[in-house]
């Protein structure tokens, strides 16, 4: 008997994509979902780059501001299959990054966040066009991805209440316990944010968490049992032999102080015939200047997912890094890096440098799936991996076992399907 998939409306900051972390996670989560059972409402000025979903509604800060300044202008846009551009490497266009509003938000981040919430609170986004799109889409379930803003709670609650749609909450990053606070504007926002989050989680029929650490923390606070939702892993062929130069690879964000750990690794590599290749999309000139000082590091900027997979195949050792700064630890403690799923099935050994209390490091350490170290043990760890690769074989085997055990695509789809069906049953029970 074929499964009857519920029609899911995904509400998130980012669109389904092959590049942005949230977008990649969502694309992976729903990659086995029937396309006609998916729709998405998103809030960032991105262009869909995958045909996984063909029915979108986009409301951006620009739309909200324009509608306030020009009464009568429709707030939001319907995007269909014709608007999808699979040729784009990045869902965020250069025009968006160079826009005056984008740069203004970066320069005055705290004030911009406060004003952004105020603009959305006007409710100008509640349009007939949005209502008609929801009626035509007719979702059975809302899959809401929590972000660090309050207005998505408002939009989600509006749709859920008006159309009596059950809500499932996905928590991939911890902002409830570790909300970044700097100044009065943020102190006001955190009070509002926590109230909105509490109400949303309490009313949700189900919740998913990014890691065991997050699950334990949130279940203790909210008494809401949930699932751990992981990204699927692809099993790649093992590399049989190394070249003369041992190649280390890091592909991901350098935010939250991760660049500091990469520099420490680069310094250690100066003793060996080895190099560290970094792919990242940072434009922080101070970070890039520090990276440029390391002779063993090659910074290559942004690359699409297909290129990263090629680089993984060409590399010998893959890196997962976190910062040892207390503020950075608190910000990422509950998260699980999407790189882990990309790496554990790659047939290459993983070097993880970071605090043991951070979700990504804890996950690899708990499953004995990587050589895990701090700065004190970094030199010995690198020496082991370069000079005695046979002694790291068990980590590689454990990583492959972890990929098959916890990151199977069919298993992830089955787990989510069973959870979302609970919302359908609840809806039928009360209808």
- Both 174 and 276 in one domain: the answer is no
Of the pLDDT bands very low, low, confident and very high (cuts 50, 70, 90), residue 398 is very high
Are residues 209 and 268 located together in one domain of the fold? no
pLDDT of residue 1: 42
Look at residue 240 and tell me if it is in a domain: no
The confidence band for 94, taking pLDDT boundaries of 50, 70 and 90, is very low
Task: Say yes or no: 59 and 97 in one domain.
Answer: yes
pLDDT for the residue 91: 61
**Residues 233-247, mean pLDDT to the nearest whole number:** 86
Q: Determine, yes or no, domain membership for 143.
A: yes
In a domain, residue 289? The reply is yes
Contact of 233 with 342, CB cutoff 8 Å: yes
Alpha helices by DSSP H, listed for 204-322, are 212-222, 258-268, 285-292, 305-314
**What's the pLDDT score for residue 92?**
60
Question: Quick one: 4 exposed, middle or buried, by C-beta within 10 A (0-12, 13-18, 19+)?
Answer: exposed
Residues 399, 412, single domain; the answer is no
DSSP-derived secondary structure for 2-41: ---PPPEEEEESS-S-SSSHHHHHHHHHTTTS-GGGEEEE
Give the pLDDT band (50/70/90) at residue 427.
low
CA-closest candidate to residue 200, choices 133, 134, 145, 123: 145
Question: Would you list the DSSP string of 385-416?
Answer: HHH-GGGGHHHHHHHHHHHHHH--HHHHHHHH
Whether residue 105 has pLDDT greater than 60: no
Is 236 a domain residue? no
Describe the crossing of helices 375-387 and 258-268 by its angle, rounded to 10 degrees: 50
The mean per-residue pLDDT over the stretch 342-351 comes to: 95
Number of domains in the chain: 2
For residue 96, the model assigns a pLDDT of: 47
Assign 33 a pLDDT band (cuts: 50, 70, 90). Answer: very high
Question: Does one domain contain both 325 and 184?
Answer: no
Residue 426: the pLDDT is: 67
Task: Clarify whether residues 317 and 188 are in a common domain.
Answer: no
pLDDT tier, 155 (very low <50, low <70, confident <90, very high otherwise): very high
The C-alpha atoms of residue 254 and residue 247 are separated, in whole angstroms, by: 19
Residue with tokens 């399907």, as numbered in its chain: 417
Q: Is there a single domain that holds both residue 90 and residue 139?
A: yes
Comparing 236 with 428, the larger pLDDT belongs to 236
Give the model's pLDDT for residue 390. 92
| Strand blocks (E) in 307-355 | 317-321, 349-353
Does the pLDDT at position 134 exceed 90?
A: yes
Report pLDDT for 372: 98
Higher pLDDT, 239 or 63: 63
Using pLDDT thresholds of 50, 70 and 90, give the confidence band for residue 90. Answer: low
CATH for 22: 3.40.50.2000
Residues 173 and 55 occupy one common structural domain: yes
CA distances from 298 to 248, 253, 262, 291 (A): 10, 15, 11, 8
In a domain, 237, yes or no: no
136 within domain boundaries: yes
Residue 379's domain comprises 246-406
pLDDT in tens, 170-219: 999 999 998 776 777 778 888 999 999 999 999 999 999 999 999 999 99
Enumerate residues 6+ apart whose C-beta is below 8 A from 368: 394, 395, 398
> For 281-327, how does the pLDDT look when each residue is reduced to its tens digit (9 = 90+)?
888 899 999 999 999 999 999 888 889 999 999 999 999 999 999 98
DSSP conformation class of 239: P
d(CA 265, CA 275): 10
Look at residue 3 and tell me if it is in a domain: no
Share of the chain above pLDDT 70, in %: 92
**What's the distance, CA 99 to chain centroid?**
24
Q: Please indicate, yes or no, whether residues 358 and 417 belong to a single structural domain of this protein.
A: no
pLDDT of 97 strictly over 70: no
Average pLDDT, the chain: 90
Report the greatest alpha carbon distance in the chain. 69
Does 71 share its domain with 119?
yes
Q: Is the pLDDT of residue 117 over 60?
A: yes
Residue 103 has pLDDT above 70, yes or no: no
Please answer whether residues 178 and 330 qualify as being in contact, where contact means their C-beta atoms are separated by less than 8 angstroms. Answer: yes
Contact 105, 112 (CB under 8 A): yes
Q: Does 308 map to a domain?
A: yes
The 10 Å CB-count burial string (b at 16+, else e) for 280-292 is: bebeeeebeebbe
In this model, does residue 256 exceed pLDDT 80? yes
Of the candidates 254, 376, 369, the residue with the CA atom closest to the CA atom of residue 321: 254
Q: Averaged over 396-410, what is the pLDDT?
A: 95
User: Which pLDDT value is given to residue 18?
Assistant: 79
Range from 18-32, 331-345, 377-391 carrying the lowest mean pLDDT: 18-32
Q: Are residues 284 and 190 in the same domain?
A: no
- Do 124 and 16 fall into the same domain? yes
Q: With bands split at pLDDT 50, 70 and 90, how would you rate the model's confidence at 43?
A: very high
The pLDDT value given to residue 187:
82
Asked if 203 contacts 166 with a C-beta cutoff of 8 angstroms, the reply is no
The structure's pTM equals: 0.91
Tell me the three state secondary structure of residue 227.
Answer: strand
| Residue 283, pLDDT score | 84
């Amino acid at each position: 008997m074929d499964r009857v998939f519920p029609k899911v409306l995904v509400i998130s900051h980012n669109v389904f994509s092959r590049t942005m972390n949230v977008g990649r996670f969502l694309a992976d989560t729903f990659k086995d979902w029937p396309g006609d059972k998916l729709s998405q409402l998103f809030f960032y000025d991105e262009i869909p780059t995958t045909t996984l979903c063909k029915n979108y509604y986009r409301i951006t800060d620009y739309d909200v501001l324009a509608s306030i300044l020009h009464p009568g202008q429709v707030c939001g846009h319907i995007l269909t299959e014709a608007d999808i551009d699979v040729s784009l490497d990045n869902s965020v266009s250069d025009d968006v990054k160079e826009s005056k509003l984008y740069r203004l938000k970066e320069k005055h981040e705290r004030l911009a966040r406060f004003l952004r919430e105020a603009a959305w609170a006007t409710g100008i986004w509640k349009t007939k066009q949005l209502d008609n799109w929801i009626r035509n889409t007719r979702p059975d379930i809302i899959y809401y991805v929590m972000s660090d803003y309050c207005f998505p709670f408002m939009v989600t609650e509006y749709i859920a209440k008006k159309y009596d749609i059950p809500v499932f909450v996905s928590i991939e990053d911890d902002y409830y316990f570790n909300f970044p606070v700097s100044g009065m504007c943020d102190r006001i926002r955190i009070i509002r944010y926590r109230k909105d989050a509490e109400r949303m989680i309490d009313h949700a029929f189900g919740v998913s968490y990014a890691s065991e650490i997050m699950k334990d923390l949130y279940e203790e606070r909210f008494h809401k049992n949930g699932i751990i939702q992981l990204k699927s892993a692809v099993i790649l062929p093992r590399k049989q032999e190394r070249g003369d130069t041992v190649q280390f690879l890091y592909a991901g964000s350098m935010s939250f102080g991760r660049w500091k750990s990469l520099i420490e690794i680069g310094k250690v590599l100066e003793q060996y015939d080895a190099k560290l290749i970094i792919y990242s999309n940072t434009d922080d000139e101070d970070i890039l200047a520090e990276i440029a000082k390391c002779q063993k590091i090659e910074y290559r900027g942004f690359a699409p997912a297909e290129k990263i997979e090629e680089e993984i195949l060409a590399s010998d050792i893959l890196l997962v890094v976190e910062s040892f700064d207390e503020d950075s630890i608190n910000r990422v403690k509950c998260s699980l890096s999407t790189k882990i799923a990309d790496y554990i099935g790659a047939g290459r050994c993983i070097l993880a440098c970071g605090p043991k209390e951070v979700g990504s490091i804890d996950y690899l350490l708990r499953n004995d799936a990587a050589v895990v170290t701090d700065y004190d043990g970094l030199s010995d760890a690198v020496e082991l991996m370069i000079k005695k690769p046979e002694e790291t074989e068990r980590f590689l085997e454990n990583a492959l076992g972890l990929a098959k055990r916890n990151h199977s695509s069919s298993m992830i789809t089955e787990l989510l399907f069973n959870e979302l069906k609970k919302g359908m049953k609840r809806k039928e029970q009360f209808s």
